[in-house]
Each structure stands twice: as C-alpha cells, then as structure tokens.
Amino acid sequence: MSKLPKQNQFLDLSDYGRPFARIIANSLKNTAFTPIHVTIAFVISGLIAIACILHHYYWAAAFFLVLKSILDAADGELARVKNTPSHTGRYLDSVSDIILNLLILVTIWYVTDGSLLLTVLAFLGIQLQGTLYNYYYVILRNKYKGDTTSRIFENKTPKALKGEKQKNVNVLFRLYTLFYGIFDWIIYRIDRDAVRAKNLPNWFMTVVSTFGLGFQLLLIGLMLAIGLADFVIPFFIGYSAFVLVFIAIRRMLNR
C-alpha cells in the first residue's frame, strides 16, 4: 500500500526498497510479527553495517545499509497490511534512524581519520536534507488524504491509537522532539509557506527524494564500496546546499 493515492504518487528515488518491503510485509501479515519487530530488525541491520565499516568490509556494509532501508520501509508496510498504525512505531522508527545516522557518520570519521567538525556538519546536513524531503512529503500526504500517521507540525503529543499505550507514545514523542525539533523548526522557518503550496509536481518531488534516507544510505554504501570512504562526509556537506536550491524552486513553482 502506498502513502499517497495512486494518482498523486511520484517516483521516489529513496524508496527503491518498497517492492521488497511489500514482499516482506505480506509474508508476515498472518504471523505474530509486528511492525515493531521489523523496526528492531532494521536497527540490527544498521548496527551490522557499522561493524562492517569498522572492519573495512565495505561491500558488506553497503549490503546491510540497503537491507536497513528495505526493512525501514517494511515496518510501515506491515502496519498498513495489518491495519495497525501506531504513533509508537512512527516515532521509534524516526528515533532509531537519527541515532543510526549519527553512528554511521562517526564510524566513517573513525575509519578515515577525518575531521570531527566536518562529521558533525555532515550529520546536520543529512538531517536537514531528510527533514525538507519529509516536510514536503507529509504536506502532500495531508493534502491528498494519504497516510496520516505523520503530521506536518509535530508540536503536540498525539493520542495513542488502538493497540498502543499512551505512556509509550509520550516517551517516544519526547525523544522525537528532542532529536528532530531543531531540524523541523529550521526547515519550517526558511520555508513556512510550503504548507499552503498548491503545486508540488511529481518531477519536483522525485528530485527532492534524493534527500530521502534510503537514497542517502544507498549513496553512502556505494561510495564505501568503490573506495570513496574519504569523500562521504565532504559530499553530504556540499549536497546540503541544495536545501536552499530546492526551496527556491518550490517558491518559483508557487508564485
């Protein structure tokens, strides 16, 4: 199942693992496995990728980074096929992502003997990229009545859905706002008019999807595998300049 109605779907370059995610979700539909189990599985895959980077097994690292992306899509797919949406799963997914992103970049810094300052800048850049992509994507989903588990403004603790505990939602929402609040605030401050945008064409969303976490991890994996580990951190710092480029294009489209 898609997060958007069929007529509003776009080619999401960060979502290349979706077909495999659907296979996994459908195979688990009638089992005791829950979306949370799949989220834990993608965390394990990410940690294995980090271990592979530490030992310079870069092709293996690339494999587990891609597997992490597939499983990252599969937990949401399983929630949809089982009709068990949850804020717990949504926030656990996001909190796990940002922690793994930091650990992956710190590991690359360690094995390349690079600059810790540049590593921090790359991490901030990656998070701003992902936040812009998610910001536009959630706006589309709300506009066209797609998946509504994610909200444009995460400024209030949501009410627990059926099958989850409010206590868990409260804790994970606090963690989410702690980790993501500053990035959400920055992107909203520099493109607050996007929430009223009438025109977010499919081609534009496809280009912006290169900011999605799946595509970011694919690039990291490929760069590691072909011997460009030293360039991963500088690349993502430079690519962050396109945050302003995409915002400028979005504004031009909605004059």
- Of 77, 75, 47, which Cα lies nearest the Cα of 61? 47
Q: What is the DSSP string of 124-186?
A: HHHHHHHHHHHHHHHHHHHHTT---SS-S---SPPPPPTTS-HHHHHHHHHHHHHHHHHHHHH
Digits of tens for pLDDT over the chain (255 positions)? 456 667 778 999 999 999 999 999 999 999 999 999 999 999 999 999 999 999 999 999 999 999 999 999 999 999 999 999 899 999 999 999 999 999 999 999 999 999 999 999 999 999 999 999 999 999 988 887 655 556 667 878 999 998 899 999 999 999 999 999 999 999 999 999 999 888 899 999 999 999 999 999 999 999 999 999 999 999 999 999 999 999 999 999 998
pLDDT for the residue 1 = 44
78 contacts 35 by C-beta, under 8 angstroms: yes
Roughly what angle, to the nearest 10 degrees, separates helices 87-112 and 213-225? 20
Give the per-residue pLDDT at 142: 82
Q: Which helix H or strand E contains 191, and what residues bound it?
A: none
**Dihedral angle, C-alpha 216, 209, 249, 131, nearest 10 °:** -70
CA-CA-CA-CA torsion sign (110, 112, 116, 121) = negative
Give every CB contact of residue 33 below 8 A, 6+ residues apart in sequence.
78
Tokens standing for 85?
A: 């949406």
Residues 6+ positions from 110 with CB-CB distance below 8 Å: 54
Among 98, 175, 155, residue whose Cα is nearest residue 131: 98
Q: Are 132 and 56 in contact (CB under 8 A)?
A: no
On whether the CB atoms of residues 134 and 150 are closer than 8 A, the answer is yes
pTM here? 0.93
CA distances (Å), 163 to each of 18, 89, 93, 166, in order? 25, 11, 17, 10
- Of the candidates 140, 122, 159, 160, the one whose C-alpha atom is nearest the C-alpha of residue 204 is 140
